[in-house]
Amino acid sequence: MNPTSILISVKKGRSCLHSSLKPLINYFEKNYKGTINFNAKYPIPTWNLYKRILSDLPRTDNTVEAWHGAFSSNESIGTTLFGAAKRNYSL
């Protein structure tokens, strides 16, 4: 979805959502969209892939994928990050 459509959709969603879901919209605005009074923690250009997809660019970074694959293959399922660090660095 292009960034302009995201802004319009959030505005429409705010007006038609049940009041119990307003905290969800507030959370999204605070962290991912921003408002007139403050910037989002993660602005739309940092997480939206619309332009990357139109430009036929990858959606993920191969370096991150390689790290994840190496980490996953070396650690058994259910192992915590702290446990892995403890074994590898004698914590």
Domain ranges of the chain: 1-59, 60-91
| pLDDT for the residue numbered 77 | 52
pLDDT of 61 strictly over 80: no
Encoded tokens for 63: 């370096």
Encoded tokens for 79: 């192992």
Please name which of 46, 10, 37 lies closest in space to residue 26, comparing C-alpha atoms: 10
pLDDT of 91 strictly over 60: no
Give tens-digit pLDDT for 4-56. Answer: 898 888 888 888 888 888 888 889 889 999 888 889 899 888 889 899 899 99
